């Protein structure tokens, strides 16, 4: 909210300076004139300070408006980006967001972290490899590690095949 008091203070000081200037017109005594000149200058300085305060407040409000406009633009961009992904469940019950093929726009199909997605960030899940049919996915955004896929037991080490 704009502080009108800074503007009102500047106007009040200027009116007081005008009143002092009007009073100075008829003065012929040098010491009285000097006293009124000091009072006049004080009122001008007071008006100037009020004007600077109003200007500083205006600048702060303009910066806040600019920051809010940037936040709105970022939120609108994220809302559009969110529409490109759909929720998928990977075994054993791990949820990730996957790029819809129809929205790929030349990008490879990839998965992003559901937690980061809910926090308004796009963090692509990175594969750390597959062991026994299960892939480890790492999120570098929030640090989550997910193991997805169905475990496939390795063949026994000393298994002998019987030949007949």
42: pLDDT strictly greater than 60: yes
60: pLDDT strictly greater than 80: yes
- Confidence at residue 2, expressed as pLDDT on a 0 to 100 scale: 53
* Per-residue pLDDT tens over the stretch 122-153: 999 999 999 999 999 999 999 999 999 998 88
* Per-residue pLDDT tens over the stretch 67-121: 999 999 999 999 999 999 999 999 999 999 999 999 999 999 999 999 999 999 9
- Confidence at residue 3, expressed as pLDDT on a 0 to 100 scale: 65
Q: Residue 76 is encoded by which pair of tokens?
A: 């609108």
pTM: 0.58
11: pLDDT strictly greater than 80: no
């Amino acid at each position: 909210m704009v502080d009108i008091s800074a503007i009102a203070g500047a106007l009040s000081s200027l009116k007081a300076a005008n009143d002092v200037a009007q009073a100075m017109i008829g003065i012929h005594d040098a010491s009285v004139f000097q006293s009124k000149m000091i009072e006049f200058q004080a009122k001008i300085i007071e008006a100037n300070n009020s004007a600077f305060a109003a200007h500083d407040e205006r600048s702060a409000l303009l910066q806040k408006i600019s920051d809010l406009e940037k936040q709105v633009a970022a939120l609108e961009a994220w809302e559009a980006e969110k529409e490109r992904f759909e929720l998928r469940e990977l075994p054993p019950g791990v949820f990730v967001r996957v790029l819809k093929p129809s929205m790929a726009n030349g990008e490879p199909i990839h998965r992003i972290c559901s937690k980061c997605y809910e926090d308004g960030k796009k963090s692509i899940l990175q594969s750390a490899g597959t062991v026994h049919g299960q892939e480890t996915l790492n999120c570098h955004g929030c640090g989550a590690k997910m193991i997805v896929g169905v475990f496939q037991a390795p063949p026994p080490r000393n298994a002998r095949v019987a030949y007949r």
